[in-house]
Structure 1
Amino acid sequence: MNINNKTIVITGGAQGLGFAMAKSFIEQGANIALIDMCVNQLDEAVHELTTNTDNKVVSYIADVTNEEQVISTFKTINTDFGSIDILINNAGITRDAMLVKVKEQKVVERMSINQFKSVIDVNLTGVFLCGREAATYMIENKNTSEGLIINMSSICHVGNVGQTNYAASKAGVVALTTTWAKELGRYNIRVAAIAPGVIDTQMTRSMKQQAQERMIQGTSVGRFGSTNEIAHTAQYIIENDFFTGRMIEIDGGIRI
């Protein structure tokens, strides 16, 4: 698929990986629909993306866990742009905690249902809702010859200490990806996933120096990944029409 003139919807697109992908794609001629909850960051993102370009960029405030908002937002996007060619399910959160915290053989703290459910709601249910709506318009738009859904998973999909909720959600994303690829291939829609390692974003830079150094030491390349490298991975998936039903792990050889 050629990125030029395609309509790309990116959830969690106001900052971090989502914004980096939007910036990369608009430089290649794409039209961008950004979905996020952060109004000020959305405004800033649109302002930066529309500088020195004639491509269309529109922001949409929506909670990906709210079915009515997702349905309404994708309907509006399809009307505004005339088609939905690519969806990147990027929105995600973490609420890290041990399943049970033990001191002197006594459980002193447990992961709450809210900690578990909030992450599942955004990282998995949100992917389901947005994927369902995007697939609907990709199929029903007669002028759309092909479609693509890219789901953002994580290397933690295999399990990681302190991330019961996050790991479960990202493993679920992989299962959605392979299932949808099988179901939607007949409609010329490809579905793929990306599993990033630790990426150099505002979130990682806000961590304690000692924690950053420990994670860097766990990689084979001796550094964090860049947002541009994730954008490049998404570009590969977009442009390679034989890639579907699979996930790319891009993690610098990290050991978790």
Structure 2
Amino acid sequence: MQIQDKVIAITGAGQGLGKAMALTLASQGAKLALVDRNADALERAVAECRKLGVRAEGYIADIANEGEVENLFARIETAFGGVDALVNNAGIIRDGLLVKAKDGVIEGKLSLSDWQKVIDVNLTGVFLCGREAAAQMVQKGRPGVIVNISSISRNGNMGQSNYAAAKAGVAAMTVTWAKELARYGIRCAAIAPGFIATDMTASMKPEVIAKIESGIPLRKMGLPENIAQTVKFILENDYLTGRVLEIDGGLRL
């Protein structure tokens, strides 16, 4: 798919990976529908994309709410005529051990609330946005691309029962959608980032960062731009579908 003048929706676009994706695609001439729940961050991201000379519109929406997602894609259709691509990037973390005990005494458990919040946003939100984008593409006879953001944590990671389960689900949905939607000219692929340097990791203690980087074969965290470049690659490579690309510095060699 040629990116120039294509309408691309990005969730979680106000900061971090989503903002890097937006700026990378804006530099390629894409028309952008940026989605986030943080109005201030979203406004700044839209403004930065517009400075690159492209059309960019911001949309506040809770992607875990079916009605809001349906309304979101209806609004995008009204404004742009429909989407050519979707990047399902929005996500949250609520880390915690399944059970925490000392000397056989249970001190804490992963709450159902923290489990459900992560599943709602990181899995159900991807499902809802992917469904609406695909329906719009099919109805308009508009071939397109859906890119989902999974994680290397999908293979299991301590303290992340909820996040790992959601990201494993995202990877499985990606393959399923690739098989189901190919007949309509729609490709689906996913990216599984490793440790990426964001505002969240920047707040970590230097010794923690050093320990993390020592376990990465390339001895450094990735940059948001590395993930954005991978989104661009997936969009442009018309023979790539049904695959999860691990961008992790060789962490899972």
TM class by shorter chain equals over 0.9
Is residue 190 of structure 1 aligned with residue 187 of structure 2?
yes
User: Which 4+ stretches in 1 moved above 6 angstroms?
Assistant: none
Say which SS state the counterpart of residue 34 (structure 1) adopts.
strand
Q: 1:251 aligns with which of 223, 248, 252?
A: 248
State the TM-score, normalized to the length of structure 1. 0.97
Between the aligned partners of 2:252 and 2:96, the Cα distance in structure 1 is: 20
Superposed displacement of residue 255, structure 1? 5.3
Between the aligned partners of 2:103 and 2:76, the Cα distance in structure 1 is: 55
Map of 2:108 onto structure 1: 109
Amino acid at match of 2:173: L
Between the aligned partners of 1:231 and 1:37, the Cα distance in structure 2 is: 20
Between the aligned partners of 2:178 and 2:251, the Cα distance in structure 1 is: 28
Map of 1:156 onto structure 2: 153
State the TM-score, normalized to the length of structure 2. 0.98
Question: Residues 52 and 251 from structure 1, CA distance in 2 versus in 1: closer, same or farther, beyond 3 angstroms?
Answer: closer
Superposed displacement of residue 213, structure 1? 1.3
Map of 1:38 onto structure 2: 38
Superposed displacement of residue 209, structure 1? 1.9
Query: 246-255 or 180-189, which moves further after superposition?
Result: 246-255
The answer on whether the counterparts of 2:97 and 2:109 sit within 8 Å (CA) in structure 1 is yes
The answer on whether the counterparts of 2:27 and 2:52 sit within 8 Å (CA) in structure 1 is no
Say which SS state the counterpart of residue 101 (structure 2) adopts.
strand
Residues 16-55 of structure 1: matches in 2 within 5 Å? 16-53=16-53, 55=54
Between the aligned partners of 1:226 and 1:86, the Cα distance in structure 2 is: 23
The answer on whether the counterparts of 2:227 and 2:247 sit within 8 Å (CA) in structure 1 is yes
Residues 71-110 of structure 1: matches in 2 within 5 Å? 71-110=70-109
Between the aligned partners of 2:3 and 2:127, the Cα distance in structure 1 is: 24
Superposed displacement of residue 210, structure 1? 2.0
Superposed displacement of residue 254, structure 1? 1.9
Aligned length: 253
Superposed displacement of residue 235, structure 1? 1.0
The answer on whether the counterparts of 2:26 and 2:52 sit within 8 Å (CA) in structure 1 is no
Between the aligned partners of 2:33 and 2:204, the Cα distance in structure 1 is: 30
Say which SS state the counterpart of residue 148 (structure 2) adopts.
strand
Superposed displacement of residue 52, structure 1? 4.0
Q: 1:201 aligns with which of 189, 198, 201?
A: 198
Amino acid at match of 1:109: G
Question: Residues 218 and 183 from structure 1, CA distance in 2 versus in 1: closer, same or farther, beyond 3 angstroms?
Answer: same
Amino acid at match of 2:176: T
Between the aligned partners of 1:49 and 1:180, the Cα distance in structure 2 is: 30
Amino acid at match of 2:139: E
Between the aligned partners of 1:111 and 1:210, the Cα distance in structure 2 is: 27
Superposed displacement of residue 179, structure 1? 0.5
Between the aligned partners of 2:200 and 2:161, the Cα distance in structure 1 is: 20
RMSD: 1.1
Amino acid at match of 1:45: A
- 5+ residue gaps, structure 1, are none
Superposed displacement of residue 208, structure 1? 2.0
Amino acid at match of 2:37: M
Superposed displacement of residue 67, structure 1? 0.5
Between the aligned partners of 1:136 and 1:208, the Cα distance in structure 2 is: 45
The answer on whether the counterparts of 1:218 and 1:255 sit within 8 Å (CA) in structure 2 is no
Question: Residues 255 and 218 from structure 1, CA distance in 2 versus in 1: closer, same or farther, beyond 3 angstroms?
Answer: farther
